[in-house]
Amino acid sequence: MQAMLNLFDPSRRPGSYLRRGLLGDVLYSSYAHRDITLYFGALGGGVTRVQDALTDRMLQSGHITQAEKSACDLRIQAAFSTPEAVHGWDNASMEDLYRHIQHLRREALADKLDTWREAQIEYSDLLIDQSAQKNALLLQVSSVIFAVYDTAYLQHLRKDAENALRLGKAVYVLLGEDFVCENLLNDALNGLPAVFISDDTDFSDASALFAYGEEALLQCRSLRINAVIHARPTGFYARALIGSLDRIRSCIVYVPAHFDVTEYVPLRERTRLSYLQLWQLQKRFGDSIYTLSAEEMYRRYPEQFINMYQDAGLPLHLCMPRDKNAFAAHDLAREQAVSDYLNSFKNLTFSAHYFDETLSPAPLPYAAESPSKGILVHALRVTSARNAGVRSRDENRPLREMFAPEETGVFSNFLFFMTPKLSALYNELRRDRPPEQADVTAGHLDYKLCFEGNRRVETFPLFAKMCMAMKEDGTFLFCNFRLGGGSIRVGDHVFSWDRECVNAQNDAPVCVYTPYLSREDSDADRKTYRKTVGEGRVNLVILQDRIHCVRAGDVILPSAGVVVSLRADAAQSLLAHLTPLQDGYYDASALPFSVCLNAPEGVDPEAWRRVRWAYGGGLSLICEGKALCDESDLTAWFAKEGWTSPLSRQTQESDLHTLSRHPRTAIGCTKGGDMVLIVYSGRTRLSAGADYVEMCRIARQLCPDIHNLMNVDGGASAVMCIVKDGTVTELNCPSTSGQSCAGMARPIKTLLYIPAE
């Protein structure tokens, strides 16, 4: 619809989102629109990977060959192979960039692209269902333009065109470079009396627009006529507009004339009004909401905007001052209402703060017009957390399904985990040793002690990082946990070792090698580094709570596990029960396994025996009152825990030991035993994020009696939420990620849940 300017408001800006608007943000490193995703090098480097779902489906159906698909992927990658080529599109819109990609596909696939017809989209379990508005609009108008962006909607086009003709409406079908080719449209309409128009036709007769495909969610903005969009968006930008980044859902969306939703979904700032929110308001308050601006909606219905992605779910009432900007006033009122609500529980004390560039307290920044250099901080102090616990989550499972409907409490993201990208690196380094390759993305990354039913589960600490444990009385213990002595049971065999046999070069019956051993190679390139251990011995590669493989001969020291190395005579009885494989490996798939470790150094063994759960792998910020910000040599602080070692860096997508500002989460305790949870928002207009020194200094201001504090997962994972009645509400302002826009938490794998009492 680029040339049909008579359908647009004169003030309409071209392109929904421009690439330059994402410069400096993590979103600039990828492009996820419709059926294609491009992954760029850091902040605008050449394309490193092409993920084309359209040609994948064409290949699967036999419409193209593998050679044709590969040629198409290479053509797209070559077009964006240099930083200059990527930056050349900075002033283009997401739609223009996709149009160019479609042109590259046509060059590679010739006419096969224009003869391709997708399977029909089935509408079930609609996220947004405005069929009633669609039907009412059709009765009101005299003519309709139909615009199809995706062949999967051709049958829907025919059905709706038949209905319009039956009601005596004039039917126009738009042709253009962006749309389905004329032959497929003719085939779908099959003789229906529709008039074809092109996108440069001088045309002003239609009184409504029906558009099909997720591109329409971006294109249909600031129109002079009302529109209805049918879509099942898979790309990031369109899903952001409908408020559905956790899973792919179909929708039927009514777009009123003169409305531009992209103004309220800025991607790098908190969403103000999504199509989902607009539909929820329309259901509650009727069509009159379409006569209001977003600012007026905030003033008139403030409670409806407590949570942008679900129903409000919280018993809050917002008192809105009328002499301020509606958005800023709403956010301030929301902070006060949330504080009053959480502080009504006997075990919780919640507060929101803003610290300026000098780390001095300042007014909350919601009315700021320019990007902030200060830090937005949300803090929670918990006096009783007897039932607090850590929960693991399948990232394909919606966050709200982690909680029973009757649960009320607060949770934050928790410790680090392996990502698919890091798992791919793990296996690439073992490409010549397939038995040692593994899926290392599941489960907690470092030390874990918990009870699953009546089963005690304990895993190995990998480095000397900080560990958090909950004692029997509900108080907390923090310590640095470096592996000492212990034992493992493998079937009917028990193998024990002491501290001197950890990462030692000796001929003891049992030795244990952990990735902390790579600390001596801190200057090595993490992308190529590997270290073999256990030459001449029988080695068990243990990843999390299972034995992954057994080999008579050396193995590669894992970044996400340990090697229990047995002297040949000590391993004889074990090997007698295992099936030999090639190259010295044995089948370990059926080996039952458990571990029992000595208490961390400096911790009372009896107190450790009574812990209810423990998780390690955090970065210590404050230990027994001594803070990282008190140290003159921060490199030594990080190195002591193992963060600078190459195997630790193989479990980090960014170097966690560098002193830079990012969104952060910290968990700790006071000397009196209260839990402290602090989230530092960042990478948004409201907040710049914190470095580790700033985290310590702010924590001491908020809690002068802070005794221990550890940094856990951060970035777009940094989040603090209320859960009530199955509804999750973010309290801070999460930053953008490739899977979420600002204000919405990205999928997290582990979380710390604290029930409200």
Tell me the per-residue pLDDT of 660-672, one tens digit each, with 9 for 90 and over: 899 999 999 999 8
Q: How far apart are CA 153 and CA 288, in angstroms?
A: 31
Structure tokens at 71: 């040629």
572, amino acid identity: Q
Mean pLDDT, residues 721-746 taken together: 87
According to CATH, what is the number of the domain 128-259? Answer: 3.40.50.10880
Handedness of CA 37, 41, 43, 47 (dihedral sign): negative
Query: Where residue 202 falls among pLDDT bands split at 50, 70, 90?
Result: low
Position 215 pLDDT exceeds 90: yes
Beta carbons of 113 and 105 less than 8 angstroms apart: yes
Mean pLDDT, residues 529-544 taken together: 96
With a pLDDT cut of 70, the percent of the chain lying above it is 97
Q: How far apart are CA 521 and CA 371, in angstroms?
A: 40
Burial class (CB in 10 A: 0-12, 13-18, 19+), 538: buried
Position 574 pLDDT exceeds 90: yes
Position 424 pLDDT exceeds 50: yes
Secondary element (H or E) of residue 646: helix 646-649
Q: How far apart are CA 297 and CA 280, in angstroms?
A: 12
Secondary element (H or E) of residue 690: none
Count CB-CB contacts under 10 A for residue 345.
18
Q: How far apart are CA 121 and CA 232, in angstroms?
A: 8
Number of H helices, E strands in the chain: 18, 37
Instruction: Work out whether strand 251-255 and strand 128-129 pair parallel, antiparallel, or are unpaired.
Output: parallel
What pLDDT is attached to residue 662? Answer: 92
Position 5 pLDDT exceeds 60: no
Instruction: Work out whether strand 720-724 and strand 375-382 pair parallel, antiparallel, or are unpaired.
Output: unpaired
With a pLDDT cut of 90, the percent of the chain lying above it is 71
Q: Give me the residue spans of the domains in the chain.
A: 5-112, 128-259, 348-358+376-418+612-629+658-755
**Span between the terminal Cα atoms of the chain, in Å:** 56
Mean pLDDT, residues 730-756 taken together: 88
Rounded (10°) angle between helices 94-109 and 66-79: 140
Query: Where residue 580 falls among pLDDT bands split at 50, 70, 90?
Result: very high
Instruction: Work out whether strand 143-148 and strand 170-175 pair parallel, antiparallel, or are unpaired.
Output: parallel
Burial class (CB in 10 A: 0-12, 13-18, 19+), 404: exposed
Structure tokens at 94: 């997401």
Query: Where residue 397 falls among pLDDT bands split at 50, 70, 90?
Result: confident
- Contacts of residue 520, Cβ cutoff 8 Å, sequence gap at least 6: none
Mean pLDDT, residues 82-93 taken together: 93
Tell which residue, 2, 333, 481, 464, has the closest CA to residue 200. Answer: 2
- Contacts of residue 177, Cβ cutoff 8 Å, sequence gap at least 6: 99, 199
- Contacts of residue 362, Cβ cutoff 8 Å, sequence gap at least 6: 354, 355, 356, 374
Tell which residue, 712, 756, 710, 722, has the closest CA to residue 413. Answer: 712
Q: How far apart are CA 331 and CA 508, in angstroms?
A: 63
Q: How far is CA 462 from the centre of its chain?
A: 25
Position 1 pLDDT exceeds 60: no
Q: Give whole-number Cα distances, 29 to 45, 423, 643, in Å.
A: 8, 20, 25
Span 24-46, pLDDT tens digits: 888 898 999 999 999 998 767 89
- Describe the strand order of the beta sheet including 486-490 as a list of residue ranges: 493-497, 486-490, 593-597
Tell which residue, 397, 40, 32, 24, has the closest CA to residue 240. Answer: 32
